[in-house]
Amino acid sequence: MPIKVIIASKNPVKIDATKASFQRKFPEHSFEFEGVSVPSDVNDQPMTHKETQEGAQNRANNAKIKYPEADFWVGIEGGVHDDEFGMQAFAWVVVLSKSISNQAQTAVFYLPEAIAKLVRSGIELGEADDIYFGRTNSKQKDGAVGILTNGEIDRKAYYEHAMIMALIPFTLKVLSN
């Protein structure tokens, strides 16, 4: 019977990153993945590290409440944070099982000031990218990290690194829940 993983997002990039990470870490297992829509209970554009982590945690928890029959629940939340150097962009990943919870953060990068100004004005980062670069729906494609690195770091790989780090205690337990 496949191991059921609920991803607290309908975003294809987040779903693909979760699939790739679980399959890479546990190649001997078969999985069933499902992307679902659940609330983050934070602002649409989290503006601090704390709010972003809370959003990922809330998504995973809300998915677990709504879909208790699964084996794993994953929350991924992108956010920004202003510091003395400018506006950072990053994401938090939370992975839950019936008995373990862990989290990890992606790498942090700084946004160009023109995009940061749009975000500070109340526009979500994905929409700010679309406005600035003249694109559509970039948050379900390469996102800010892909655009700003000219595709050298795509959004899927960006999330995968954090997902694999969040899976560390699960690899130690070898899915024995």
- Please enumerate, by residue number, every residue annotated as part of a binding site for Mg(2+): 69
Alpha-carbon gap, residue 56 to 96, rounded angstroms: 11
Backbone angles phi, psi at 68, to 5 degrees: -70, -15
Alpha-carbon gap, residue 73 to 96, rounded angstroms: 5
Question: From the centroid of its chain, how far is CA 127?
Answer: 17
Q: Could you give the 3-state DSSP secondary structure of residue 6?
A: strand
Farthest-apart Cα atoms in the chain, separation = 51
Alpha-carbon gap, residue 48 to 46, rounded angstroms: 6
Q: What is the DSSP string of 52-106?
A: HHHHHHHHHHHHHHH-TT-SEEEEEEEEEEEETTEEEEEEEEEEEESS-EEEEE-
Residue type, 125: L
> Binding site for substrate, residues?
69-70
> Binding site, residues?
69-70
